[in-house]
Amino acid sequence: MTHRGSRVLRVGSLARVEGEGSLHLRVAGRRVEEAQLRIYEPPRFFEAFLRGRAHTEPPDITARVCGICPVAYQMSACRAIEDACGVTVDRPLRDLRRLLYCGEWIESHALHIYLLHAPDFLGFDSAVELARTQRAAVERGLRLKQAGNAVLELLGGRAIHPVNVRLGGFHRVPARDELRPLVERLRRAADDAWKTVGLVSRFDFPDASLDADFFALASPTAYAIEDGTPAVLSADGARRRFPTDAFLDHVREEQVPHSTALHSRLDGRRHLTGPLARFAIGGDRLSPTAREAVSEARLEAGCRNPYRSVLVRAVEVVYAVDEALRIIAAYEPPDRAHVDVPPRPGTGHGVTEAPRGLLYHRYRLDTEGTVTDACLVPPTAQNQGAIEDDLVRAVERTLAEGDPTDEELTHLCERAIRNHDPCISCSAHFLDLTIDRV
């Protein structure tokens, strides 16, 4: 039987992503007429109920947007409100924030590489199935994830929704000695991270190329995580930057009927945030160890193949472990755990690099510090358009090359989506796939 006619495919729920949603594809012959990522995560109205809250509250409240990257929310919220109040946080508090963020990068990337993404490359339904034949590899992934969580637990109090972050710094900062147990763990993690690069570099990568503009933070001194300037690398190779307070002049959100997330465009074009964009824009700022990992992974500069994003995640784990060890080695406790952030009326902007891409917050405060307006632009909402374009290309390429069954197309779409590590809880949740072949 041929599958080449017009058809409609419906895939129930997309697995191994963070959140729930569905994909709707309308296929006519060899052409995809429509690809919609349908985010059906129920709206939770954070931007509405943040109005009227005290300026000290958004870091704890917005952490609850996403259980996978709460630190990203806490950091973008702190940066934005500190900006509104005209306060800057200097070292060593800034270093401790970066250390906490490294913990989240290690945990989130290890989760994605081993539990969500690797089963696709190795032909399994889950990491639990994978563990039946490659238990040592899965155990390594879990150990790496645990090392990230150890950083979060020590510095943040707990791994999910850490309690120790506050405006201006922390509630309590560790003494030098307290960080020591992390060192041994992170040294082991450095070895595990290196082996992870070896594992993923042996995966078989289909050909694919994205034509969206890349969007990431750029920093003159380091690979950007908790600090940097928004930078664009367009598909034709042109580079530009703009200040954080101009973010919403460039990134425009629009609502589409099939999604409770808001889609966005960057200066009118599709854009992509996340590991591929970060590496293309700031790869030259990686540490020497991480640059060795780039060679080991045979990762090409400016890589645009979404399947190969797993290589960038593996390199970023090497980097985050390396950074964490560097920060701990240089750490001298500050005199105070936080700087004061007295309220003042005004608007503040904050942007940081969540593991899956750039996360922007804006708050407007009145004289008492009450939030009068809030705006959150999560990475997956920004990426949704580029993911849909990527799906169209992946399906059309497969239709041009052969005669895929509905099941094969579904599998292909799920893989294409997982390449982008979407966090649907953030953008609003993931996938039922429906493919209409008309």
Q: Does 425 bind other proteins (CB under 8 A)?
A: yes
Q: Which of 5, 30, 54, 342 binds other proteins (CB under 8 A)?
A: 54
Q: Supply 67's token pair.
A: 């259980």
CA 34-204-308 angle, 5° bins: 60
Q: Does 366 bind other proteins (CB under 8 A)?
A: no
Q: Supply 179's token pair.
A: 């960080």
Q: Does 390 bind other proteins (CB under 8 A)?
A: no
Q: Is 3 annotated as a binding residue?
A: no
**Which helix (H) or strand (E) segment is 25 a member of?**
strand 21-28
Q: Which of 4, 91, 166, 326 binds other proteins (CB under 8 A)?
A: 166
Binding footprint of other proteins, residue count (CB under 8 A): 70
Q: Does 129 bind other proteins (CB under 8 A)?
A: yes
Q: Does 13 bind other proteins (CB under 8 A)?
A: yes
C-beta of 101: minimal distance to other proteins in Å?
A: 17
Report how far apart, in Å, the C-alpha atoms of 252 and of each of 42, 67, 130, 266, 362 are. 22, 26, 41, 7, 14
Question: What 3-state class would DSSP assign to 180?
Answer: helix
Q: Does 365 bind other proteins (CB under 8 A)?
A: no
Q: Is 426 annotated as a binding residue?
A: yes
Q: Does 367 bind other proteins (CB under 8 A)?
A: no
Q: Does 336 bind other proteins (CB under 8 A)?
A: no
Q: Which of 28, 87, 91, 146 binds other proteins (CB under 8 A)?
A: 146
Distance (Å, whole) CA 338 – CA 54 = 18
Distance (Å, whole) CA 375 – CA 46 = 9
Question: What 3-state class would DSSP assign to 259?
Answer: coil
Q: Which is nearer to other proteins, 160 or 235 (CB)?
A: 160
C-beta of 321: minimal distance to other proteins in Å?
A: 16
Q: Which of 30, 158, 239, 336 binds other proteins (CB under 8 A)?
A: 158
Q: Does 93 bind other proteins (CB under 8 A)?
A: no
C-beta of 420: minimal distance to other proteins in Å?
A: 16
Instruction: Give 211's contacts (C-beta < 8 A, 6+ positions apart).
Output: 235, 270, 304, 389
Q: Does 180 bind other proteins (CB under 8 A)?
A: no
Distance (Å, whole) CA 385 – CA 391 = 10
Q: Is 274 left (phi over 0), alpha (psi -120 to 50) or beta?
A: left
C-beta of 60: minimal distance to other proteins in Å?
A: 7
Distance (Å, whole) CA 330 – CA 174 = 13
Q: Which of 222, 235, 337, 339 binds other proteins (CB under 8 A)?
A: 337
What are 232's strand-pairing partners?
215, 240
Q: Which of 9, 37, 65, 391 binds other proteins (CB under 8 A)?
A: 65
Q: Supply 119's token pair.
A: 């089963």
DSSP H helical segments within 202-308, as ranges?
247-250, 275-282, 288-296
CA 212-252-247 angle, 5° bins: 90
Q: Does 438 bind other proteins (CB under 8 A)?
A: no
Distance (Å, whole) CA 59 – CA 161 = 10
Which range touches other proteins (CB under 8 A), out of 119-127, 301-309, 348-356, 397-405? 119-127
Q: Return binding residues for Ni(2+).
A: 66, 69, 423
Q: Return binding residues for Fe cation.
A: 69, 426
Rule CB under 8 A: which residues touch other proteins? Answer: 12-20, 40-49, 51, 53-54, 57, 60-61, 64-68, 70, 111, 115-116, 119, 125-129, 131, 135, 138-139, 142-143, 145-146, 149, 157-161, 163-164, 166, 170-172, 254-255, 257, 260, 262, 337, 414, 423, 425, 429
